[in-house]
Structure formats: C-alpha cells, structure tokens
Chain A
Amino acid sequence: MSAKITIDGREVEVADGQTVLDAARKLSIDIPTLCFLEKCGPMTSCLVCIVKMKFNGRTSVVPSCGMKAVSGMVVESETDEVRDMRKTALELLLSDHVGDCFAPCHRICPLRLDIPEMLRMVKESRLPDAMKLVRDTMPLASVTGRLCNKPCEQGCRRGTWDDSMSIRDIECIAADTAFASDYIPACVAPSGKRVAIVGGGPTGLAAAWQLTRDGHTCTVIDRSAAAGGSMRKKPPEAALPRRIVDAEVDLLIKMGVTFRLKSELGRDATVGALASEFDAVLIAIGESAKTQAPSLGLTALATGLKVSPTGQTSMENVFAAGAAVRPAAQVTRAIAEGTAAARCVDQFLRGQPIRRSEKSFSSIMGKVEREEVEIFIHSTAAEPPSSSPCGSCGFVNEVDASAEASRCLHCDCRAEGNCSLQHYSEMLGADPGRFRQQRRRFEQHDHPGNVLYEPGKCILCGICVEIAKQSAEPLGLTFIGRGFDVRVGAPMNREFDAGLQKVAAECVEGCPTGAISFRSGKTVSPLPNHQH
C-alpha cells in the first residue's frame, strides 16, 4: 500500500502510514519543523510545519508532521499564504521568547566574534581553542586585539553591574597564541577562481583572508614594499608593534595568499587589465581612490568610488570596498568592510545573487533589569577585574586572562547557530517584535550537572518530556499548568535536572531552541532537524 499525493503541483508517492512531511522531504521541500523529532513522533504543537491541504472537498490548514498522507491529497507548501502562516507561528513563539540569540557583545561586534564562547574557553584555560575560535572568525585578529575601539565592552552586561569585561585584551592574548603555533584557519575546497585585491591595508587583507577561506586564489597588489597599509603608518609602535603586522601578513601567506608588492594601480597595471587577468578584482586602495578615480576609468562621488549596493563598480567584476568607497576611521570597521565585500565577491564568483549581508535575525530581550542580571551574576566570579592592562596587550599571562574571563555573565544563548527557531526565523524573515508585549522575567536554572534550563526559551514542543518518558527516567519531566502559562519541569516542584538523570544530553540535543543546554558551551552537533 502506498499513497500518492501532490505537493506544490508535484506528485509524490510514499509508503502507507507516512506523513505529508515525509512526502515533502522526499521532494526535497524544506518544511520548517521545530517540535518534530523522528524518535518522538509528531507532537503537532509548534504548528510551524503547517501546509494547506485540499482533500475530500475540504480545504484546511494542517501540521504536515502529523498528517498521514492519503492518496488524493493536494498540498500547498511553498506558497506566500502558507509561508506567511508559518512566519506568524514563529512570530507568536518569538513574542513569548525570553532570551537573546546573541550576547550584546557578540551582537555588536562588527566582526561577529562569539565573545562569550571565547571567554568560556579562556576561563577553562583552553587557550588554543579560544585562539582557533578567534582565528576562524576574523582576520587580523591580533591587530583588532590592540586597536579595536571595543564596542563590545560598551554593550557588556557586566558593565551594568560593576565593570565591563576586558574583552579586547582577552581576544588579543588568544589571537597572539596563533603566532607561536602553526595554526592556519581552514579553507573550503578550491573554487579555481582567482581574485586580485588591490591595496594591502586592513580592508584588502581582510578581504583576502575571507576570499581565501572561501576557496578562491587571492593576489594582493600593493604599491608599498610591505603589506599593511595604514596599519604600518598610523598607530604608534607601542600601540601596534610592527612585528604583529608582519606576523599577520605571514599568516595570510601561509593560508595561500600571494602578494604582488611595489606594484601600483594605473602605473603597473590598469583596472581593465586586472579585470581580464582575474575572475574578479577588489579595489581597496584607501582614500586615494577618490582622486585616482578618473585615471583608473572609474567614477567617483564626494565620498569615494561610486559602487552599487553590492559593492560593484561600473565594471561587473570589479568591486571596491573600505576607505576607497567611504572614509573609515576605525580599523575594525575597515576590516569588517573587507570581509563584507569579500562575501559579495564570493557570491559573484559562484554565480549566486549578490546580497550584501543584511542584519541577521536575532531575538532581543531588550532592557534587562538588575534582578535579571543578578541571575547571571550568580554563577560568575563576583570580584571586579583582578588585574589592570599593561603594555599593548592587556594581560601579562593567561592566568590573569582566565581570571578575568571568569567574570563573564555568559548571557548569550548556548544554542545560537544550532537553534531551529533562529534558523527558520531567519529563513522566513520573522519579525520578533511583531507581537512584542510586556515580556516575562528572564529565568535561568543552573544545575550542578552542567544542565542549563531557561524556561523562557522553551516552545513547549514536548520533545524532552517524551524523551524522558521513553527512557523511563525515574522522575521525568511533565507539562505543568495549562494554557499560556504551561511550563515544562520536573514533577512536584523538584529541580529541572532531577527529572533528567539519564538523558540530559539527549534532551539538549533534541531541544529545538536553547531552553535546555550545557552551561559549558555550545554543542557542536549539526541541527538535528535541518537538511542543508
């Protein structure tokens, strides 16, 4: 026996007993699911997997995860109407979602460094791990470790309690560790595409780093004898020792970037020539671009080179970024411009539609009351900073850094990047503020066994309740209460983790959001529900 149904105009046959969701997956249609986990069976609680169905002369909206496929069903999945309903479901969940996707420091960082995760590593004396995290996230990390204007520290929640974390100093110590090791950030498989980057300043080097990581072969062309641009000219030696710039350039060379030094655009090569020699060209020659524009055959505006919103000049494969387009006082900003432009170039090279990376989805709690900060303070070192910064890098040794890192509130979400709610909200463009009302108070139950339970992030899918039941946990979990105030917890007012003596790890794994997580950090497993 089998069932033949139609989804979005395509016929598909599934075995008897399989669901509409199974059928859709067979057609590689990515129907979002939050509460569905194979081993638990359909919970039909999140209603994000809804589809519109015509069957037996009736039209209805049903959760695809629980609806058994029956021959003759005509299903709509990828239509505006259905997408809008799914988006509404997500927005309703988000309206009662008490938690930030990102800690403020992480959200604010122009280079999107996962600062709380880095601090956890430093705190646990896992400096090499912290170094890898930093080096995998951002280019020129030892430069930013010294010159960054530290927006992260201004946003730090610890600062509302006593003093902000010394984030930059810790990042610096982690980043510098790379030079003593032979660590090279991993790159994806070579694309066979070649990119010329004109200008070896922060923007150009950042772009080269990013494009190399993306698998392209990069050549940096700079008129000086040594790459580094403004980094070599502006800051005093004490603020940024030149050996650090050298080391960063060395690291790029190790990654496979080639440098064509003492070569000036216009004199040694024309834009046109580069554009035909390479698959793409990125002009990052700084503020001088504005005056040079006519000789380069480019158009300039008052601020700099004229580019499209995607960073392209009048020539399709010639991009421009950084101070060449718009003056940037800040080195971190310049680096961020470089990586952003590199992403556009990458999309161009891969023949994808070019989208300048927009602000990514993020659930934001908004103002956090002092009582709520207290919840975080609970599990941190309560003392103010133990040492004061010295020299160009704040800490003399990693012991100091570890002590400082232990002050972090870890107000981030451990599931960030591994959260189905975040993933599908991003995908469907959900607006977390659509139904925003007075939010509930933030809650965090920090259990000795490393289990962190944050009820405000629970979407009441029931997966953990079911997992606990299936594995015959002695106490187990249950839904408590009814209606809008339903919560998941251990019975008889016992602590949450009392209900999960055997299967905590499985529940952390199964949780579609960050309601159950491990205090020690983010899980590394891929999204259980996702197909990428």
Chain B
Amino acid sequence: MSAWASVLAEADKRAARDAEIFGPVDEIVARIGREADCVIPILQAIQEHFRWLPEPALWRVCETTKITPAQIWGIATFYDQFRHKPVGKHIVHVCHGTACHVTGADRVEEALRRQLGIPAGGDTDPEGEYTIESVACLGCCTLAPVLKFDATTYGHLDAQRLPAVVADFEDVASQNPTHSCDHDHEHNHEHGNVIKVGLGSCCVAKGSDRLFTALKAAAKETGLDVQVKRVGCVGMCHRTPMIEVAREGKESKFFDALQPTEARQLVLEHFRPSNPLRRAIGFGTKLLDRFLTDDAQDSISRHVLNVRDPAVDAFLGKQIHIATELFGEVDPLDLDEYLAHDGFKALRRCLGQSVFVAEAKTGIVSENGAAVPRTPAHTPGARGKRSPVLEKPETGAATKVTGEKDNVGKLSPLPEGEGKGEGKRGVITGIASPSTATLPLNPLKPDEIIDMVTKAGVRGRGGAGFPTGPKWKIVAAQKNETKYVICNGDEGDPGAFMDRMLLESFPYRIIEGLAIAAIAVGAHEGFFYIRREYPLAVERITAAIAQLEKRGFLGEKLLGTNYSLKFSVKEGAGAFVCGEETALIKSIQGERGMPRLRPPFPAESGLWGKPTLINNVETLALLPWVLRHGAEKFAAIGTATSKGTKVFALAGKIVRGGLIEVPMGTTIREIVHEIGGGVGKGRRFKAVQIGGPSGGCIPARLAETPVDYESLREVGAIMGSGGLIVLDDGDCMVDIARYFLQFTQEQSCGKCTFCRVGTRRMLDLLNLICTGKARRENLEELERLAPSVSMGSLCGLGKTAPNPVVTTLKYFRDEYEAHLQGRCPSGKCQALIKYSITDHCTGCTICAQHCPVNAIPVTPYARHVIDQTLCTKCDTCLRVCPHQAVEVK
C-alpha cells in the first residue's frame, strides 16, 4: 500500500462525485440552453435538483455554456434564492413582511429557533432536519404572522402554537402529499350544483387545498350530483378558506373555516344523488352519520357565513371590481369559462375585429357620476342582523392545525329562499350568459387603442403612476423592428399581494392585457417576470400560456390572425430591486439586477437594447375591461387625476383584512373603518402605512385623505403597488421606520453610494434611536441625511427609501423624542421595555410553565418574579397570564 493508493482512491471518489453532479447539470443545460442569459433558470434548476449550488456544478455550467465564472458567481451571490451550502431536509421560510412584523414575526422566529434547536447565528439544526430562511414577504399578509414549511404555509402563529404546527407539518411530511390542486384541473361544464373553493395562495395557506381535495373525494365517493370547482381569490381573506355552495334553483350558501373532515357531511347535506338508488344509499349514509355523531348537524352549521351580514356588506359594498372582475367566480385556468365571460374580446377588437360584448350594466356609475358600489353575484346584499358567526377568530386558530372552533358561535343556516329577490344577484356584468344583452364594438387600430387608454386616464399601478397611454405612445413611436413587452410581476413590497392574487386568479386576463399592450406598441414577444416567492402565480401563468398555445390562440397566429406573439415566463430569484424596470431587464438578460441611470428609458432602449414596454400586473388587468366598456366608463370612476379603481392588500391591525378594489378617491377612513371594520377591540387606530418601503405612514388624523396619486404624495406617502398596513396604538412608529429601512437596506443592489452606504447609515442611526442610545445630534443627522439619500440615489429604491422615516418624523416626532429620552411609548422596542409581574399575580404558575427560557421561577401561590437577566421579552407570559398580571413598561 503506497501513497498512490490513497491518491487514486481520492481521484475515484472525485470522479464518482463529479458524475453525480455532472449528469444532472448536463441534462439541465441541455434542457434550458447555453446562452449567457440562461444563467438564472439554470441556477434555479440546479438548486431545485441539489437544493443548493455545489461549486463543481457551477464549474460544469461554465465549461458547457457561454456563461463565465465571473457571471455565474455574481448572479449566484446576488439573488437571495441561491444557497451556497447544503440545507436541512426541510426549509422553513419565516415571513418578515410588514403585517408579519407588526404581529410579532421576530418573536415567532425566536421561538421557532428554540423549538427546532437552531443555534444562534446558524440556520440549520445540528441534525440537519430544518433550515430556516427569512423571506421579505410571502404575500399572505392577512394570515400574519406566517411560516412556510416547505410548501405548506401556516398562518396566525404565536410562540405557544409552534409545537403543534411542527407536529402537524411532520405529519404532513410523512404522508408526502406534495400535491397541488392545480393538477386536478378538469373542464368545468358549469351546471347548477357547484361547490366553489377559493384557491389563492392565502386560501391554500389556510387549508383550502386540503378541503378541496376532501370535497372532491366526498363528491366522488358519495356519487352525488355536484361539481367541486376551484376559483381564484375571493378577497375576503379574513374568512378563508371560504366556499360557496351553489345549487340549482336555490340561493347560494357560504361557509368559512370548514375542516376537511367535514367535507363529506357538507356534500351529503346539500346535494341529492342523481339516481334513486344512490339517493337511497345517500339517505342511509346521512342517517348513519347523524346517528354516529350527534353534533354533526351543528358542526357544519356553525361555519355558515351569513351573507346578509352587514359586515360582509360593508366589506364588499364600497368595492368596484374591474381588475378583480369575476372574483371568486371563475376557475383561473378554465379557458372556456374565460371566453364565456367575454374573455379575449378586447384583444379581438385590437386585432381589428368587431366584437359583441355584454353591456356594462347597472351599478358602475350612477347618474351623478359617483361610483355606486356593487356586490358580487354570489353575495346577496340584503340587510340582516350581524351574527356571531362573523366574529374574526380572535386567537387566530393556528390554522390547519387545531381544528378548534371555540371561537365561533352556533347558528343555523339561513332558511332556504329567505331573502331571495332582495339580493342583487345578477347585478354584476358578464356573469349572465354571453347570449344575453350584447353591445357591438368596432375594431381598433394601435393608435386608437393608445388613445383609448389615454382617454381612460389609466396610470401605472406599479407605484409612480406614470400615465399608461403616453408611455405606450413613446414605445409605439420607436422605429425598431424588434420591441418587447414585459409584465412586471415582481411584487416585492412587504405587505403587498395584489399582483400575486391577480396572477393566480386571472391569468388569462393578464395575458390578454399584455397582448393588447403588445399590439398597441407593435411588439411580438413578451415576458412575464414573476417573483419566485409566488410559485402558484408562476404555475398558473405558465399553464395558461401553454393552454393558449395549445389552442392556437397564442404564438404564430394570435387568435387566428396574422399577428405573431410569443409569451414566456421569467422567474425572479429573490431580489426586490428587480421590480425596478432597468434592474428587471438586467435580470432577464441574465445579469445582476443592478439598476442603471435613466435615460435612456427602456421605452427607447430596454431589453437587449430594444424598445421595451414594462407594465405592472394590475395595470394590465384593467385593460380588457377598459377596452370592452370604453374609456368614458373607466374615467367616470375615481378622481380628477386618478381614474378607475385601485386594488389594495389590506392587512395589519384590522378586523377584516383582505384584498379589496375600491374606486380612486375612497378615503382612508372608508377603507379602514368601513371596509376593514377598524382595528381590534380596545385598540386605537393610529396610522396606515401605504406604499410599503417606498411609501409613508399617514396618521389617523389625516384619515379623510382620499387615496389617489396626488393626495397621497401630498401627505408624503405614495400609492406604491397597494400594500396597506393598518397600525394601532401598539405599534411604534420609529420601529416601523426602522423596519422599512432595514428592508430597503437589505434589498439595495449595492451599486450607488447614497443607497448602499446612505441607507445603512440611516439604519445605524435608527438602531441607535430604537435602542435608546441616540443623542439629539443623531436625530438631526438622520434628518439631514434623508434628503441626500433621496436626491442622490440612482433608482427608485434608494430615492424612496427615506420616505418611511421622513413621514414618521413629520407626523410622529413625539415618538422619536421619547426614544431619545429612553422611552418607547408603544412598548415595542425591546431594548427600552421591561416585562414585570404586578400584584394581580395569584401565583398560578402558568407564566413560569410557559416561559421558554425559564426566566420565571415557579413560586406557587406567591407573586412571581421575572429574572431580567434571562428574559428575552418574547411576550409569552403576557399572553398566557389569565389575570393580566404581566405588564410591559
């Protein structure tokens, strides 16, 4: 045995390892391509395969493609998605979005680390079971705080519920059902008996996928005449999973918070077997069920959502659904259904064809021009008494896990037929079958499309509100054979999930919108750039494009005409800055997403140096409606400078969170108090944070501010993409400013000095303030630096990064002053608060039992004391104390 043997053995080992790596890499490269712009998809595929990026794999890519080591390494270290070391068996994403932040994401993460045994500074437990990763926002804000275990999302968490969540996940993981309901797609031939299940990401996170599967199984098993149908987001996220039971000739019924175990019962109770024999069996089963479980009837009943409830009315009443047209109504991926609802008619018009569309009926605009609220077809808007059913689950029943229903009262379902005729069913346009009232529309030439969009007053919904028509005009005017259109679906603002919902729920409409834009500017190729945190959105857009191509609607002959149009999906890799258009373009080109100086604007020189139009998802979603109903109808909604509607993701400290679409000009008060039902009991509404990290905080006293581009800018905020986080008296405004700055600071691409270093220095100063270490000079320096960062930064990220600081300084200066004196008035900043136990303590020992760090010695029947040196301020004692004997100062 010589040294040679070991050298050879080593070489063999390396060869074996290489084979293990090279095989899959070569396959990936062959599948995706060898050009430099393939780098991101290649890395994504490599990571998908290995779960991280082994270095030999990267070398192999460079060897077999035009990608250079410098390029691949620059990319692999730029985007958050890519991991450079092996990970545990499961990945837990901890959402640190705004809504999660204000509802205690930090504490949840701390507890999670303890629960999983992940050492401080590390991200994986010693056994290699779990790796935790922070994410900027999962877009499930109404369920905050949120954790995602692999593909399973859990919402409404707190430290005490974590053990149950982990146990549930392990249960799920052991069954290995990585099952997406989307694969169950089948053509829905609508008939009377339908159970509609909302399957947006939020709904899925709340368990609607399991419910969907259970309902399908139940329908199949019982053989009953009912179709279980997937629909998009229903908007009422505070109620998910919500289902609608529609029966031939009967009023629809709505249920929320149903458990999969109840699926069978629900089906049995509402539908009749199609033939007598089955009917008899069904009857027998029903009887048996009742016999075996005496509370069967009740358990279903108490989930019934009283649709005549004023709260539901208030939530939906002020809304107008244009971008969210047909919400909760159609199967996202059912092309025929989309076509049946005038789908692609606007596009046909743009392709020079005459079309007939259902007339925009009542309710859009009243005679005096004011927007008249409508309710969706399935929501009879009759008045009724508010029922206990509608109380928001107070403790937020760590969904999917507990099955607790202690938070809902008992109520019988509405007697069938009651209220029928009072409702506004059928009010919504397009729901009626296409053969009813139709309106002829003449064909449009590209410049006429642009004129119409201009006249409608459509402005970009992505943030800055640049007028859409004029933007198109610039691209259309470019003399270049090749032009591109891009749908910007890189919705990165923490606290925003409108675009995700639109992409998931209405993929065909967004595609139609982008196709219209392409025709208007003369482009023949387009991209959907969608952030990777939205897997369902990616999946649905990809599937919708495939479906359209299969049917020959998209490709060489767009809707059978001679116009060729090719669409593809590009997945982001985890970089907020890629929402900035020049960074987005770089990302598509396979570069680090670093913005560049404009001009030249992408309209002149964009993707691959060609004229490029980039529009936001929501902007595109509005277009088919505008082209079907006319510029005037759209322009009649909203305010003088801001036309139409705006979709908001309403979350935070609010009773009824969800996705809403309101006319421009709706006031903040209307949104918070009327639609959202205000902040929780006993709390005081303090402010709304609007526009995310680029926006600002508007104090309660300015609640009459209408939401339109100009009014918001006037008060220091911006429309942004539409995240609207409600804050109450428990939220520290300095902490909010610090939170957002930390976000932008982490998301800065690192190119220009003012953003890279400037935001960091602002954060340093805010950290000093939040920890009570700041002096007045530090506050003054913060105020001095903010405008420099705004002015000097190269792109929108840096230019708007100081906004949250500037607005909080403007409206909540007293809180900054208090911090200078070492006080946090809201009791939020950890360094400035102390937990202690008051005289109310009865010595029940509950706090001591729950304290995760044993900072409270057990002293039965005596007042407990918290050891301040051990206390991590996790808030557990305060939450569990039955006598309100824990105070924070």
Do A and B pair up? The answer is: yes
Tell me whether A88 and B70 are in contact (CB under 8 A): no
**Contact: B751 with A484, CB < 8 Å?**
no
Residues of B within 8 A of A85 (CB): 788, 791-792
**In the bound complex, do residue A45 and residue B760 qualify as a contact, i.e. CB atoms below 8 Å apart?**
no
With A47-B752, A61-B792, A482-B77 in contact, is A66–B761 under 8 Å at CB? no
Partner of B794, one of A44, A434, A460, A493: A44
| Assembly CA distance A484 to B745 (angstroms) | 7
Are A491 and B73 neighbours in the complex by a CB distance under 8 Å? Answer: yes
Chain B residue, CB-CB nearest to A50: B792
CB proximity to A under 8 Å, residues B628-652: none
In contact, A45 and B73 (Cβ under 8 angstroms) = no
Interface residue tally for chain A (C-beta within 8 Å):
46
Kindly provide the distance from the CB of B701 to the nearest chain A CB, expressed in whole angstroms: 31
Contact, CB under 8 Å: A67 / B597: yes
B751 touches A492 (CB 8 A): no
Q: Which B728-787 residues have C-beta < 8 A from chain A? A: 745-754, 756-758, 760-761, 764, 781, 785
Chain B residues lying within 8 Å of A482, measured Cβ to Cβ, are: 77-79, 575, 592, 748-750
Q: Which B residues touch A437, using CB under 8 A?
A: 761, 764
Contact: B791 with A478, CB < 8 Å?
no
Determine whether A480 belongs to the interface, using a CB cutoff of 8 Å to chain B.
Answer: yes
B74 contacts A by Cβ under 8 Å: yes
Docked-complex contact A476 and B597, CB < 8 angstroms: no
CB-based contact B761/A68 at 8 Å = no
> Do A492 and B58 have beta carbons less than 8 Å apart?
yes
Closest to B79 in A: A482
B747:A480 contact, CB within 8 angstroms: no
Asked if A92 and B761 sit within 8 Å, CB to CB, the answer is yes
Nearest-Cβ distance from residue B109 to partner chain A, whole angstroms: 21
Q: How far is the CA of A493 from the CA of B68 in the complex (A)?
A: 15
Determine if A46 and B745 form an interchain contact, defined as CB atoms under 8 angstroms apart. no
Judge whether B34 is part of the interface by a CB distance below 8 angstroms.
no
Given contacts A63-B597, A93-B753, A492-B59, contact A478 B70 (CB under 8 A): yes
Chain B residues near A44 (CB, 8 Å)?
A: 596-597, 751-752, 794
Min CB distance A32 to B, Å, is: 12
Residues of A contacting B72 with CB < 8 Å? 491
Q: Return chain B residues, CB-CB under 8 Å to A61.
A: 791-792
Question: Which residues between 431 and 476 of chain A lie within 8 Å of chain B, taking CB atoms?
Answer: 434-435, 437, 459-460, 465, 468-469, 475-476
Q: Output the nearest chain B residue to A92 by Cβ-Cβ distance.
A: B757
**Interfacial chain B residues near A62, Cβ < 8 Å:** 597
Whether, in the assembled complex, B71 has its beta carbon less than 8 Å from a beta carbon of chain A, the answer is yes
Selected contact of A95 from candidates B746, B751, B757, CB within 8 Å: B757
Binary interface profile of B, 579-597, with partner A (CB < 8 Å = 1, else 0)? 0000000000000101011
Which of B592, B756, B764, B791 neighbours the largest number of chain A CB atoms within 10 Å of its CB? B756
A486 contacts which chain B residues (CB < 8 A)? 750, 756
Min CB distance, A80 to chain B, in Å? 14
A483 in contact with B745 (CB, 8 Å): yes
Contact with A along B36-62 (1 / 0, CB 8 A): 000000000000000000010011000
Q: Quick check: is A42 within 8 A (CB to CB) of the other chain?
A: yes
| A95 contact set on B, CB distance < 8 A | 757, 761
Shortest CB-to-CB span from B763 to chain A, Å, is: 9
Nearest Cβ distance between residue B602 and chain A, in whole angstroms? 16
A478 and B788 contacting across the interface, CB-CB below 8 Å: no
Task: Please name the residue on chain A nearest to B747 by beta carbon.
Answer: A483
* Cross-chain contact A476 with B748 (CB below 8 angstroms): no
Collect the chain B residues with CB atoms within 8 Å of residue A490's CB.
70
Which residue of chain A is the closest to B73 with respect to CB atoms? A491
Known A-B contacts A477-B70, A491-B70; the reply to A483 vs B597 at CB < 8 A is: no
| Bound: A62/B58 CA distance, A | 38
Residues in A with CB closer than 8 Å to B77 are 480-482
Bound-state Cα–Cα, A491 to B79, Å: 15
Query: Contact at B592–A47, with CB atoms within 8 Å?
Result: no
Across-interface contacts of B753 in A (CB, < 8 A): 45-48, 89, 92-93, 459
Q: With contacts A45-B752, A47-B754, A96-B757 known, is A479 near B74, CB below 8 A? A: yes
Q: Is the CB of A481 within 8 A of B78?
A: yes
Contact for B785 among A60, A88, A465, CB less than 8 A: A88
In the complex, what's the smallest C-beta–C-beta distance from B798 to chain A, in angstroms? 10
- Please tell me if the beta carbons of A460 and B69 are within 8 angstroms of each other in the complex: no
Q: Tell me if B276 counts as interface (CB < 8 A to partner A).
A: no
B71-105: which residues lie under 8 A (CB-CB) from chain A?
71-74, 77-79
A484's contact among B55, B69, B760, by CB below 8 Å, is which?
B760
B757:A476 contact, CB within 8 angstroms: no
Is A38 close to B, CB under 8 A? no
**Contact assessment for B761 and A435 in the assembled complex, using a CB-CB cutoff below 8 Å:** yes
Contacts of B761 in A (CB 8 A): 92, 95, 435, 437
Given contacts A85-B792, A88-B785, A88-B792, A468 and B597 within 8 Å (CB-CB)? no
Residues of B within 8 A of A89 (CB): 753-754, 792
Report the nearest A residue to B758, measured CB to CB. Answer: A92
A485 interface contact, C-beta 8 A: yes
Asked whether B421 is an interface residue with its Cβ less than 8 Å from the other chain, the reply is no
A478 and B792 contacting across the interface, CB-CB below 8 Å: no
Cβ–Cβ contact B757 & A93, under 8 A = yes
B599 proximal to A (CB < 8 A): yes
In the complex, what residues of A have CB within 8 A of residue B791's CB?
60-61, 85
CB closest chain-B residue, reference A97: B757
A60 contact set on B, CB distance < 8 A:
791
Closest to A68 in B: B599
A478 touches B71 (CB 8 A): yes
Decide if B74 touches A478 in the complex (CB within 8 Å): yes
Instruction: Give Cα A437–Cα B758 distance, bound, in whole angstroms.
Output: 12
> Contacts of B746 on A, CB cut-off 8 Å?
483
Question: Nearest B residue to A89 by beta-carbon distance?
Answer: B753
Q: Scan A32-73; emit 1 where CB is below 8 A from any B CB, else 0.
A: 000000000010111110100000000011110011100000
Nearest Cβ distance between residue B824 and chain A, in whole angstroms? 22
Q: A95-B761, A481-B750, A482-B77 are in contact. Are A468 and B70 (CB under 8 A)?
A: yes
CA of A85 to CA of B787, assembled, Å: 10
Q: Does any Cβ of B come within 8 Å of A499's Cβ?
A: yes
- A29 and B575 alpha carbons, distance in the complex (Å): 39
Residues of A within 8 A of B79 (CB): 482
Residues on A with beta carbons closer than 8 Å to the beta carbon of B55: 492-493
With both beta carbons as reference points, the residue of chain A lying nearest to B761 in the complex is identified as A435
Q: Which residue of A lies closest to B595 (CB)?
A: A44
Q: A44-B794, A475-B70, A478-B70 in contact; A483/B750 too (CB < 8 A)?
A: yes
Complex Cα gap A491–B575 (Å) = 20
Partner pick for B748 among A68, A88, A479, A483, CB 8 A cutoff: A483
Question: Nearest Cβ in chain B — how far from A34, in angstroms?
Answer: 9
Which listed residue, A469, A484, A492, touches B750 by the CB 8 Å rule?
A: A484
- Knowing A85-B788, A480-B74, A499-B70 are in contact, say whether A92-B754 is a contact too (CB < 8 A): yes
CA distance A37 to B843 in the complex (A): 73
Residue of B nearest to A438 (CB): B764
Q: Enumerate chain B interface residues (CB-CB to A < 8 A).
A: 55, 58-59, 68-74, 77-79, 575, 592, 594, 596-597, 599, 745-754, 756-758, 760-761, 764, 781, 785, 788, 791-794
Interface residues, chain A, with chain B CB atoms under 8 Å away: 42, 44-48, 50, 60-63, 66-68, 85, 88-89, 92-93, 95-96, 434-435, 437, 459-460, 465, 468-469, 475-486, 490-493, 499
Pairs of residues from A and B, 5 with the lowest C-beta to C-beta distance, nearest first: A491-B73, A486-B750, A478-B74, A476-B70, A478-B70
- Give 30 CB contacts A-B under 8 Å: A44-B794, A46-B753, A47-B754, A47-B794, A85-B791, A89-B753, A89-B754, A93-B753, A93-B757, A95-B757, A435-B757, A435-B761, A460-B751, A465-B70, A476-B68, A476-B69, A478-B70, A478-B73, A479-B78, A480-B73, A483-B747, A484-B750, A484-B760, A486-B750, A486-B756, A491-B69, A491-B72, A491-B74, A492-B59, A493-B55
Given contact pairs A89-B754, A482-B79, A492-B55, enumerate 20 new A-B contacts (beta carbons under 8 Å).
Answer: A44-B597, A45-B751, A45-B752, A60-B791, A63-B794, A67-B597, A68-B599, A88-B754, A89-B792, A96-B760, A465-B70, A475-B69, A476-B69, A479-B750, A482-B575, A483-B745, A483-B746, A490-B70, A492-B58, A492-B69
